[in-house]
Amino acid sequence: MDAFPLQASGVEPEGPDTAKDSATHQAGVALRAELANLKNDLDALILHQATLSDGELSEAYARILARLGASGRTAREAAQDMGPQKPTPYQVACAEVRQRPLQSVAAAALAGFLGGWLTAGQTDH
């Protein structure tokens, strides 16, 4: 399935974040490719470590660590480019409770009363 079904159907998304989203997506694709290459190189190093001298192994280790550090910086930059994310419903609910604690307690009490009343059932005396 296509990651962007609106673009696949010919409908272009609107809004100011379209170019920013596209750039972030491209950065993510490039980062995934770099990490895949890094993993392949690390796997090859592990397979051939017995045949390498200590100097060659140290040099290869240093190169891989440098590439890993560069990938980490790229990931941090991509995360910063994404900007603030939409709050989750949990975060919205927590903020609402903090802003209006008495109304939140009253709403919870009312919900509890109604839930108990509706589930109590009929009793014949």
pTM of the model: 0.42
Question: CB under 8 Å to 45, separation ≥6 — which residues?
Answer: 52, 57, 60, 61, 64
Consecutive H or E run containing 117: helix 101-120
Which amino acid belongs to residue 59?
Answer: E
What gap in Å lies between CA 75 and CA 31, rounded to an integer? 7
Question: What tokens does 108 get?
Answer: 């919870």
DSSP 78-115: HHHHH-PPPPPHHHHHHHHHHH-HHHHHHHHHHHHHHH
Predicted confidence (pLDDT) per residue in 34-93, tens digit = 888 888 888 888 888 888 888 888 888 888 888 888 877 777 777 776 767 788 899 999
Question: CB under 8 Å to 18, separation ≥6 — which residues?
Answer: 12
Residue range 17-40: mean pLDDT, rounded: 76
Q: Find the radius of gyration of the CA atoms of the chain.
A: 27
SS3 68: helix
